[in-house]
Amino acid sequence: MAVLALHDLSCYSKSSITVVLPVMEALGVETAVIPTAILSTQTDGFDDIYSEDREREMLLIYSRLKALGISFDGVYSGYLSSESEIDTISSILSSESGLKLVDPVMGDGGELYQTITRQHAERMAKLVRKADVITPNFTEAMILSGLEDGMRKVGQQEIHDLVSVLRAMGPEMGVITSVPLIAGGLGNIAWKGKEIRMFQYDDLGVSYPGSGDLFASVLFALLVRGESFFGSVSHATGIATYAIAYSKEHGRERRLGIELKPVMDEIRRRAL
């Protein structure tokens, strides 16, 4: 099994490629990476960020890989630093026949990330239509659906409405992560076809950059390995929530992202 991961490289702090690559490899999935951007740090918690997109290099690297006859069982895209890169990723997804997961990274906590514009967010909706699986967080799901109205807690009807809009965009499967629930706590809301399931967990009052990358990477790796969708969501939820709890308990500075080593041990225990 081999997959292609299209993510940014943050030179300091754990997110994107520095999370995706070790997690995928720990789950036994050979992973090629093409950086979509080079950043001095991840975008949540740092100021004066250096960011440069690598659109030209992306296309050149991808064409070289295909010229070598390398094939992929899946493609997984994450943070994109410019609107034009969305078109590039769309072209790559159209060229591949394996499983396609799009994590439409745009914001969190009810706000867009500092490097993302409204035009970027609108264009991301077109990329979502190319995916088999999407993994937006609650903020991103509300933006994509056009139903956004702050970070209010939601019940069964609101969940059904939100999933209905996202499912109509094209992806057969998806997970909305970190959904604030009227019933209490948070939930990952997963759908496959017309079936919807909720994976509820405690709200620990903190989020760590990279936890979404961890969740989507575990999910994608298990799906590529042929595991069931809802079973994979359950595993990914357990591992991501463990990572957040561990990082908080051990006093990790939030902007540094999740603490990765103990998470790798947990991945091996839970999913292998």
Find tokens 């997970």 and name the residue: 175
The Cβ of residue 168 has, within 10 Å, a number of other Cβ atoms equal to 9
Residue 267, SS3 per DSSP: helix
Whether residue 90 contacts residue 62, with contact meaning beta carbons closer than 8 Å, is answered with no
Enumerate helices (H) and strands (E) in the chain, giving the number of each: 9, 11
Segments of the chain assigned E as strands: 2-10, 30-39, 51-53, 74-77, 99-102, 107-108, 111-112, 133-134, 173-180, 186-192, 195-201
In this prediction, residue 110 carries a pLDDT of: 85
Please say whether the structural domain 2-271 has been given the CATH code 1.10.3720.10: no
Which tens digit of pLDDT belongs to each residue from 222-251?
999 999 999 999 999 999 999 999 999 999
* DSSP conformational letter for 254: G
Residue 123 makes CB contacts below 8 A (sequence gap 6+) with: 83, 86
Q: Which amino acid is at 103?
A: D
Record the tokens describing residue 268, joined without a space: 């091996």
In this prediction, residue 72 carries a pLDDT of: 97
Q: Which amino acid is at 100?
A: K
In this prediction, residue 23 carries a pLDDT of: 95
pTM: 0.95
In this prediction, residue 271 carries a pLDDT of: 66
Ranges of residues in the chain whose predicted pLDDT is under 50: none
| Domains of the chain, residue spans | 2-271
**CA angle, 84 then 96 then 78, to 5°:** 45
In this prediction, residue 150 carries a pLDDT of: 59
In this prediction, residue 262 carries a pLDDT of: 84
Which tens digit of pLDDT belongs to each residue from 53-80?
898 899 999 999 999 999 999 999 999 9
What is the secondary structure of 147-168 as a DSSP string? ---SS--B-HHHHHHHHHHHHH
In this prediction, residue 148 carries a pLDDT of: 63
Measured CA to CA, the distance from residue 192 to residue 27 in angstroms comes to 23
Residue 188, SS3 per DSSP: strand
In this prediction, residue 152 carries a pLDDT of: 82
The Cβ of residue 18 has, within 10 Å, a number of other Cβ atoms equal to 21
Find tokens 């995706």 and name the residue: 20
In this prediction, residue 272 carries a pLDDT of: 64
In this prediction, residue 151 carries a pLDDT of: 60
